[in-house]
Amino acid sequence: MNNNDIQNKEQTNIKESRMPPKAACVHDLAGFGRCSFSVILPTLACMGVQPCAIPTAVLSTHTGGFTGFTFLDFTEHIEDYYKHWIELDVKFDAFYSGFLGSFRQIELVEDMIKGFGYPKTILVDPVMGDDGSLYSTYTEEMQNGMKALVKMATVITPNITEASFLLDIPCRDYSLSEKDKLFDIAKRLGEFGPDMITVTGINSTNSVATVCYDKKRGEPVIMENERVPKSYPGTGDIFASVLLGELLRDRSLEQSCEKACSFVHDVIEYSRRFDYPVREGVLLESLLYKLL
């Protein structure tokens, strides 16, 4: 192949490719420990998405397993921050919000979605609690605010605890034999407005399951992965990031959910082979190549 052939092939590849989609991402930043932006930014970038970070807070470490961490609340700066992007006329293909630390931050996220012109894909991860309980920082006002926010989403990714609080039903464990009840939860979440719903964290003895429901494609389905006997912080952020990256590759919700579940399983299985503190999160760096 001569130089002209190489140049022609490069030009063809450029014409056939497309600009990376942009995603506005609203999360906190922990300097140490793999969660929130520490895993979201590399995951989306590896999947060909340009993640544009809007920090809600800056911490020296995340709060799961660490003490004495520093915390800088970014709330008072958020409005000027994102309005500068609006002034620049930045166009986003997607919007993605995670843990929000106050009712005011929930209001700001609603304003951002409107200000960015309602991007085509709006993923809201309603990070409210786990293991049957709301996080200690969550108030009734914030809970009601999150119910309003998910109505603006096209995709939501609650765990089973968060799904229960959104629907005001008792939190409990569900067996996989209770498919009708799990499907009913997904369908009721769809009544809030989003077209696509995943409900994660449904545990059984040997597996972890996720309910996946695309209102436009039919009935919910359940996806199972082998249960790995270890738990790490940040895996929910990785799940939502992979899901979003796949959706922006024009994959179906079911395909995207399958990829996200599989990748999270793989990074947990890989990480547990090493002897290091669980609070540091999964060894994401070693497996990012699977997302390229």
Express each pLDDT in 68-106 by its tens digit: 999 999 999 999 999 999 999 999 999 999 999 999 999
Residue with tokens 């952020």: 237
So what's the pLDDT on residue 108?
A: 98
Asked if 69 and 40 count as a contact pair (C-beta separation under 8 A), the reply is no
Packing angle between helix 37-46 and helix 235-247, nearest 10 degrees? 30
CA 75, distance to chain mean position in Å, is: 21
Taking 70 as the threshold, does the pLDDT of residue 226 lie above it? Answer: yes
So what's the pLDDT on residue 7?
A: 57
Read off the pLDDT of each residue in 205-222 and give the average, rounded to a whole number.
94
Closest CA to 185 of 170, 205, 207: 170
Taking 70 as the threshold, does the pLDDT of residue 242 lie above it? Answer: yes
Read off the pLDDT of each residue in 20-30 and give the average, rounded to a whole number.
97
Q: What is the pLDDT of residues 49-58, one digit of tens each?
A: 999 999 999 9
Please give the share of the chain, as a percent, with pLDDT higher than 70. Answer: 94
So what's the pLDDT on residue 233?
A: 95
pTM of this prediction?
Answer: 0.94
- Using a 10 angstrom Cβ sphere, with 0-12 exposed, 13-18 middle and 19 or more buried, the burial of residue 190 is middle
Residue with tokens 């200000």: 115
Closest CA to 152 of 209, 207, 111: 111
Q: Give the count of beta carbons closer than 10 Å to the beta carbon of residue 118.
A: 12
H helix runs in the chain, sequence order: 3-16, 37-46, 75-87, 103-115, 140-150, 160-167, 179-190, 235-247, 253-271
Q: What is the pLDDT of residues 243-269, one digit of tens each?
A: 999 999 999 999 999 999 999 999 999
Asked if 260 and 223 count as a contact pair (C-beta separation under 8 A), the reply is no
Lowest mean pLDDT among 3-7, 32-36, 57-61, 203-207: 3-7
Cα dihedral 130, 133, 138, 143 sign: positive
